[in-house]
Structure 1
Amino acid sequence: MEKMNGLDGKTNIQEAAALKRRVKAKKIPNMIGDADDHLEKKGGGGDHHQNTKSVPFLKLFSFADSSDIFLMIVGTIGAIGNGLGLPLSTILFGQMISALQVDKDVVRVTSEICLKTLYLAAGIGAAGFLQVACWMVTGARQAARIRGVYLKTILRQDVAFFDKETNTGEVVGRMSGDTVLIQDAMGEKVGKFLQLVSTFIGGFVVAFLKGWLLTLLLLASVPLIVTSGGLMYIAISKTASRGQDAYTNAANAVEQTISSIRTVASFTGEKQAVNNYKKFLLTTYKSGVQEGFVSGLGFGLVTFVIYCCYAMAVWFGAKMVLHKGYTGGDVLNVMMSLLTGSASLGQASPCMSAFVAGKVAAYKMFETIERKPKIDAYDTKGKILDDVRGDIELRDVFFSYPTRPDLQIFSGFCLSIQSGTTAALVGQSGSGKSTVISLIERFYDPQAGKVLIDGINLKDLQLNWIRGKIGLVSQEPVLFACSIRDNIAYGKDGATTEEIRVAAELANAAKLIDALPQGLETTVGAHGTQLSGGQKQRIAIARAILKDPRILLLDEATSALDVESERIVQEALDRIMVNQTTLIVAHRLSTVRNADMIAVIHRGKIVERGSHLELIKNLDGAYSQLIRLQEVNKESGEDVDGKSIYEIPVESFGRPISPGQCKRISSQKSLSWESSTNDSSHHSFSIAEYTSTSKGPSREKVPAESEEKFPLVSIWRLAHLNKPEIPIILLGVIAAIISGMLLPILGILLTRVIHSFYEKPADLIKDTAFWSKMFLILGVVSFLAIPARAYFLSVAGCKLIERIRLMCFDKLVRMEVGWFDEQEHSSGFLGVKLSADAAATRSLVGDALGQILQVIASVVAGLIIAFITSWKLAFIVLSLIPLIGINEYLQVRYMKGFSADSKMIYEEASQVANDAVGSIRTVASFCAEDKVMHLYSRKCEGPRKAGIRQGLITGIGFGTSFVMLFLVYATSFYAGARFIEAEKATFSDVFLVFFALTFAATGVSQTSSMGPDTSKAKDAATSIFAILDQQSKIDPLDESGMTLDYLKGDIEFCNLSFKYPCRSDVQIFRDLNLAIHSSKTVALVGESGSGKSTFISLLQRFYDPDSGYVTLDGIEIQKFQVKWLRQQMGLVSQEPVLFNDTIRANIAYGKEGNAIESEIKAVAELANAHSFISALPEVKINK
């Protein structure tokens, strides 16, 4: 493991959340465990090694049922039939050439061949439908089943699994991302692979039948085509993957900044955020350019090899016609069959890549699915008692957390709680209080010793049943992203409205619920962000009350409540604790005075136990020290919640506190602002301010008609952003025009070659030699033009994306905090705009211009050639060209794959999984696994049906496309035969018109289908400019405004009235006045949602008041420079936010990242954080 300074230890998103709590409570042992976990992740690289493992291909189909097996068999038959269709069509094409060239009864013979073509088209169309529909439907069905099984397996795992082996992001990522790869690997790509293999085999069979000698000679070129095609797709897939990975860091930077916008604003970290984002964008830009170049080089190489094969085939074909009795049709038949077969094998590379990706993605998922947890939530074994008395005993327990097996929490720990009594655990943070609760809930099993309920080992009881008898309320309440009713109902299956209301009354939550616009139906938002901390806690308590448990576990259950709410809730808890066994973990000693037994825990040992009255008699005891310390803190005006009592050095337990110690501790002043909001973009609902008229229909924002509409932006405005790249774009445009002319020119060459095969021997040798050289020249031109177009236009396009993203992000960090309160301005929505929308705009300018010009060049060249040759025939073929375009579009769209769409349609279901896994302890405690699975299945029902419907529709489209293609061929050649018979056109004219127009149409359709959807791009551009056109009401980067050389710190709120912008119907302040003198400590108290945190938000200028004003040293704060104003303040919230960076960087953030080592060390000591940072593995803070 690499050595690392404790300050450099990083925290990921989940670890940051844990670290927030531990910094607040100083739980050093757990902190070390988390830090060590991260060190292992950073230094070990184990995940990378795991990702190279894969499952056998057939194992992907482990969850197929009989219907899926039937679909796969039918789909396989369809794929083989579809694959053989193209080689068979080359036979008819060869016959058509001979008929048009030599047959006198040209119309009759051509009619017969055209009829065979239509029969073949019908067969291929039906086979194509079966292939696509069956494989897409079975892929969607099996992937959905894997998602469900995986989530069910995840929910049954023990908590240790989430501590050591996975996290919410990984689970949701696998369900939304990896299952897409698995579905791709066992769905449509299997059908496509079987089709291409069939085409390869069929092509070679036909080629050998029509001309075995020429086939053997041309076989030398096949490996080149297959290899170049394979290398192209592999290189493209790898560079595309690197590009996605490159933007991941940038996307994380956006998510961190927006979701923590209050912290960023308070610490004036906007410029840091922009510079950090810019650094990540540079990497993304380089990856994008590399991807464009590799893609162009790959396509150029494949095109060059194919043209070289044409040259070789023409050269040897002439020899076969002269010496081996081949006809021109035979030569063309062999050429087309071999090229079709070999090209199909090259096209199989994306399928192979998909198979590999699917097998690798399945490895971790299947490994988890097969994992047997030590503590299985679905295990039905174990005893079920007729009644639970509630006796609890921990007997000689030895325990260490799985993440830190070397750090012993308990060594021979013993605790006994009699049924119907209330026990309280107090002691320093990290001493093991919450571990006792985790063991009783059986989140973990002790390494030795026993946990007994009613004298029976907890391991011998049925897990679901015993958890159903235990109610848990944690320090940080977990609410799900659903209504208040559903959140409370988690406590009991089938709970009635009356039962829910009674539970809310007992938890002192009824008034707050009735005051909300939609009452019980009010959605609390992700993780309950629409409620304040105290409101969330009361809902969580109501949920536990509804469960009516025999054993009640309260882990800091009232810590987030104001004093009055705590008193009322405590009374409610006291009422329901009658005849129940209750275990309380508390910091506020006032909440445990009435406990029957209080145990003081120190370093995993109970150092003192007894009732409150018994314990305070021992003046030198640990409990008495805590009581006196808390009283000292109260008298000195410190944090009255008592959290600072645990700052006492651990060595002082068991001996009296000296007056000097009291004095020293009380001098460590801290102002604790109780904040009811965190750094999410939503503020809390207010309770008292809701008027009676607010009851009834919802007045929440978000009606569709009220959404802001933005006019479509001008393409020229977007193009203006690409202005610096004009010279690069011009070079790309020239290369694009040349590329666009390649296919129509290929049509001319093929026509001349066909004509040459029916010439006299002398002319045949001379002309075929000339046309062979032309094919080589065309190949060289394509090898130069295609990569050049891709490279130059990728540079322009990637620069545009980089510029747009940076401009948008710079605009976002300038917006006032209130702007982020809107749901459509959340980190998720804005992240999509910077990620997907910015990328989509590329299809409107820059490299899109090259695509358009390439199309125009193809069309113009094709039309000129066709109309000069035979304008009448050109009109007929031109009328059928749209069918060719539709066919090519569907073919390329299918090659790109439809499975990626499932990632979007499963988003809502993924949110259910995200909530459940992120709150796994709550789910386990309330035995809610089946409820989560039922909700997940319900959310998946729509996407599952949509996937099946999509498969059927796609199958119809895919099958129909073949019918249309062959219909165009048949109609064109029949019309050509008529023209030849009437002597209005020659054989060469017919093929020249046909090739010129069909190849031009192919170029158009392929280019348009590969480019992003233009309509979507326009919407994306509109969305982007909607952000850029926003004007910030409070711009933190605005340099205007006054600054002071010296600030005293007098604060005054004068006649202040205020409503939150997104809750304009709720009056927070009305004509409020408050004066705070400099150097004074002022505390704001009141019920949750009363507006305490709003004071801080107004003082920091997160918002401006509707009327009245706030002054600092007698000057209205609106007159100050925003950045300077915020730099004069230091904010610590109830739920502190740490960034996914080192501890050093998080501390240095308080000085815009410019703090030196000595400063960081000094503030760490002042914050009493030095000790736990120094305790991190292999670390010294001054290193």
Structure 2
Amino acid sequence: MRKQEEKEANGTSKDTSAGTGTSSDGKTDINKEKRKKTEELEKKKVPLYKLFTFADAFDVGMMVVGAVAAMANGMAQPMMTFIFGDVINAFGSGTDQNVLHRVTKVILNFVYLGIASGVASLLSVTCWTITGERQAARIRELYLKSILRQDMAFFDKEMTTGQVIERMSGDTLLVQDSIGEKIGKGLQLTTTFFGGFIVAFVRGWLLALVMLSCIPLIALAGAVVSRIVSTLSTRAQTKYSEAGNVAVQTIGSIRTVASFNGEIRAVTIYDQLIHKAYKSYVREGTATGLGMGLVFMILFCTYGLAVWYGSKLILNKGYNGGIIINIQMAVIIGAMSLGQASSCITAFAEGQAAAYRIFEAIKRKPDIDVLDTAGVVLKDMKGNVELKDVYFSYPARPDHIIFNGFSLNVSSGTTVAIVGESGSGKSTVINLIERFYDPQSGQVLIDGVDLKTMKLGWIRSKIGLVSQEPLLFATTIKENITYGKEDATVEEIKRAIELANAAKFVDKLPNGIDTMVGERGIQLSGGQKQRIAIARAIIKNPKILLLDEATSALDLESERVVQEALNRIMLERTTIIVAHRLSTVRNADTIAVIHQGKLVEQGSHLELIENIDGPYSQLINLQAMHQDKYALPPPDGGSEREIISSRGNSSRHLFNAFAMTHAQDCPDITVTKETDGIDQDPNSVKKKVPMRRLFALNKPEALILLFGSITATVHGIIFPVFSIIISSSIKVYFVIKINTLNSLIKV
């Protein structure tokens, strides 16, 4: 019961878990729904041109220059075959006296072409790299902005923390790769492909037409590989995203994991997801390798056909060796560029799939939009709160009704405590007032104005929230407090610290308000973190204060100090308290008892205990049976009613039962000094990891690596061998006599 109640204090109790999927059945349903959406995402991708959706005018200019330069660079290799053919003719048809002059004259064209190609390549890579970085940065910014503006339903149903991190770190890199230098490379190779065949058809269309027969086969192989790679890449990225979510949850809750010896279980789950991603990438690599192998096989077979048919053209059509070599090299270079484009095609396919996932999140407009500037702004806010005939269920569990005609009225400046058993809907009231969710029916009113019609950012600035377990960011105390008010002055920060009863321990810290609190405030005690959270909540001077189990996780001494701080800040404010410990709300102006999403009893503590069989009295008796500490014996033998009556029921005196007016100040736990950075010797040299250590990590894959190294070596030898074949064909065209040539090509 205690554990469930603590979850509820953070909005994740049974009533909230119905929406967020933290119950076992709900979690299963939500996981199935998320898996279904993931499978749908694996099949979807954006058109290639939509990758440039977020390019501005400067990016367009850079892309135009980069595209022109890439195409110019792509034409360099087909043009080189012209020059190479002339060199072959110069060698083959020249005499000993003039061959050097003829070759030297042609060779200068190589120099001019090299200079032009170098300039074009520089412009292409530079322009596409710059525009790719710019667009990727803009996409990351827009993605994060879009994620932060989403409502809670989005995170309940569609996205996890790990998936957000994976999108930011993994998918954006895939998109950047597909809109950056890879585009320039793709344009260059495409231009080389078309340029090669244009040159070939201009020089000799018969041989070019014969060699063109290889293109459909290459295109088919590329299309199949691209489709397979796109699907497998998306699947692998999804598994990495799930694995990242496991890592985030485990590391973020490392103390809880360690206390339950859950490290091995977490590693096992992580390893299973990584293994699934690994298998997808292995299949992707296999598909890519098979596709490239098919492309090269087709190319070399086509070249064999070209050598044979080129020899026949020399005999029958009057072609010379230079033209034949020119055509063969132009087609081979063009076709090989299509094969080399497989890496670009893979990058485009992965980028298109990743872009779909990112762009869908960017363009998603939430139902509750904190960035929406439209809406009502009250000139003189009083702080009256009313929930009127509210029907509500969480988006992730629409079949589980939380409120069924619930109504509650909180007058300005009063304190209302909401109590009830776990799962009754207490924290849901907080969620609706903060407008984390909207009711399906009914209204949430602030000063008589429907919360849906109000400017969300403005109304949230008027509401202060203190939760059971406050989340502090890994920065200084000062920056944590100014999170509540960005333009707060140092005087305002110190005033908030004083009101939060935190000045004494903050002054003792090594760097005062500039002290780093560590990850999630790990350097501070529970009471200290809670007081910093209170200071953060009140620095914006909220009209409405929401206390969601603000002291239930603290020990008695820390609770006393925190409650004193709460007593100070509750003055002149509308305060709504969600409480589990009934002893902490006895002096509230009104106590509202909720049971199964309905308001079953309401009144002051004295009024409610008059009904000994009422829900409130039953809750008191239940807590008294389970935990004696909840039953506070009145001092000096006075009756509880006398003690309560003497204190009154004003919110100004709330929590006096725990105030311990005559008690001494509890000792504060000071943090150890934390440096802002790691001390480093500026003269120290960064150590390098020995290569043998890296090799040792690959021992399990030694056989695969050996086999891969051997096959890679064989693949590397192919082109030197190919050069020997080319030289042999040239020799056939120029050195061997005609009758010998006839015998070589005779079929």
Normalization by structure 1: what TM-score?
Answer: 0.55
1:860-1009 equivalent positions in 2, closer than 5 A: none
2:17 paired residue among 3, 10, 31: 31
Contact 1:395 1:450 in 2 (8 A): yes
1:762 paired residue among 739, 743, 746: 739
* Other-structure match for 1:748: 724
1:360 positional shift: 2.8
2:309 paired residue among 306, 316, 330: 316
* Letter of the 2:47 counterpart: P
CA change 1:709–1:115 in 2 (3 A) is closer
Using the alignment, how far apart are the partners of 2:276 and 2:507 within structure 1? 52
The CA deviation string for residues 463-515 of structure 1, in whole angstroms up to 9 with x for no partner, is 22222111111223122232221110011121112221221222232333334
* Other-structure match for 1:167: 160
CA change 1:71–1:19 in 2 (3 A) is farther
Contact 2:166 2:240 in 1 (8 A): no
The CA deviation string for residues 665-702 of structure 1, in whole angstroms up to 9 with x for no partner, is xxxxxxxxxxxxxxxxxxxxx953669xx6xxx55773
- Work out the percentage of aligned pairs sharing the same amino acid: 52
Contact 1:439 1:446 in 2 (8 A): yes
Contact 2:15 2:428 in 1 (8 A): no
1:580 aligned onto 2:580: no
* Other-structure match for 1:589: 582
* Other-structure match for 2:124: 131
Using the alignment, how far apart are the partners of 1:624 and 1:156 within structure 2? 43
* Other-structure match for 1:473: 466
Contact 1:633 1:640 in 2 (8 A): no
* Other-structure match for 2:679: 703
* Letter of the 2:719 counterpart: L
The CA deviation string for residues 161-215 of structure 1, in whole angstroms up to 9 with x for no partner, is 3222323322332233222232333333332222222212211110011111111
Contact 1:200 1:344 in 2 (8 A): yes
1:578 positional shift: 1.4
Using the alignment, how far apart are the partners of 2:240 and 2:356 within structure 1? 25
* Other-structure match for 1:508: 501
* Letter of the 1:21 counterpart: K
Secondary structure, in 3 states, of the residue corresponding to 1:352? helix
Using the alignment, how far apart are the partners of 1:581 and 1:620 within structure 2? 30
Contact 1:79 1:191 in 2 (8 A): yes
* Other-structure match for 1:42: 32
1:319 positional shift: 0.8
1:275 positional shift: 6.5
* Other-structure match for 2:87: 96
1:59 paired residue among 47, 50, 55: 50
Using the alignment, how far apart are the partners of 1:413 and 1:116 within structure 2? 87
* Other-structure match for 2:649: none
Using the alignment, how far apart are the partners of 1:404 and 1:595 within structure 2? 33
1:1040-1119 equivalent positions in 2, closer than 5 A: none
* Letter of the 1:413 counterpart: F
1:245 positional shift: 6.4
Using the alignment, how far apart are the partners of 1:451 and 1:224 within structure 2? 66
* Letter of the 2:377 counterpart: I
* Other-structure match for 2:545: 552
* Other-structure match for 2:534: 541
* Letter of the 1:746 counterpart: F
Secondary structure, in 3 states, of the residue corresponding to 2:204? helix
Contact 1:227 1:346 in 2 (8 A): no
Using the alignment, how far apart are the partners of 2:157 and 2:704 within structure 1? 50
Using the alignment, how far apart are the partners of 2:689 and 2:145 within structure 1? 47
1:20 positional shift: 8.0
* Letter of the 2:466 counterpart: V
Q: How many residues align?
A: 703
Quick check: 333-342 or 143-152, which moved more? 143-152
Quick check: 307-316 or 525-534, which moved more? 525-534
Contact 1:480 1:527 in 2 (8 A): yes
1:257 positional shift: 6.2
Secondary structure, in 3 states, of the residue corresponding to 1:412? strand
* Letter of the 1:69 counterpart: V
Please report the RMSD computed on the Cα atoms of aligned residues, expressed in angstroms.
Answer: 3.6
The CA deviation string for residues 773-816 of structure 1, in whole angstroms up to 9 with x for no partner, is xxxxxxxxxxxxxxxxxxxxxxxxxxxxxxxxxxxxxxxxxxxx
1:79-228 equivalent positions in 2, closer than 5 A: 79-104=70-95, 105-228=98-221
CA change 1:115–1:19 in 2 (3 A) is farther
1:124 positional shift: 1.9
Using the alignment, how far apart are the partners of 1:442 and 1:570 within structure 2? 26
1:87 positional shift: 0.8
The CA deviation string for residues 606-636 of structure 1, in whole angstroms up to 9 with x for no partner, is 221111222222222222222233333343x
Using the alignment, how far apart are the partners of 2:170 and 2:714 within structure 1? 39
Please list every run of 5 or more consecutive structure 2 residues that lacks an aligned counterpart in the other structure: 633-666
CA change 1:508–1:176 in 2 (3 A) is same
CA change 1:20–1:238 in 2 (3 A) is farther
1:399 paired residue among 392, 395, 406: 392
* Other-structure match for 1:843: none
Normalization by structure 2: what TM-score?
Answer: 0.84
* Letter of the 1:28 counterpart: K
* Letter of the 2:7 counterpart: R
1:345 positional shift: 2.3
* Letter of the 2:14 counterpart: I
Secondary structure, in 3 states, of the residue corresponding to 2:422? coil
Using the alignment, how far apart are the partners of 1:468 and 1:112 within structure 2? 79
Using the alignment, how far apart are the partners of 2:14 and 2:354 within structure 1? 36
CA change 1:390–1:590 in 2 (3 A) is same
Using the alignment, how far apart are the partners of 1:619 and 1:767 within structure 2? 114
Contact 1:228 1:346 in 2 (8 A): no
Q: Which has the higher contact order (CA 8 A, sep 6+)?
A: 1
Secondary structure, in 3 states, of the residue corresponding to 2:405? strand
Using the alignment, how far apart are the partners of 2:363 and 2:244 within structure 1? 33
CA change 1:725–1:556 in 2 (3 A) is closer
* Other-structure match for 1:1143: none
The CA deviation string for residues 1148-1169 of structure 1, in whole angstroms up to 9 with x for no partner, is xxxxxxxxxxxxxxxxxxxxxx
CA change 1:640–1:307 in 2 (3 A) is farther
* Other-structure match for 2:669: 688
* Other-structure match for 2:345: 352
* Letter of the 1:302 counterpart: V
CA change 1:343–1:729 in 2 (3 A) is closer
* Letter of the 1:115 counterpart: L
Contact 2:386 2:445 in 1 (8 A): yes
Secondary structure, in 3 states, of the residue corresponding to 2:402? strand
* Other-structure match for 2:637: none
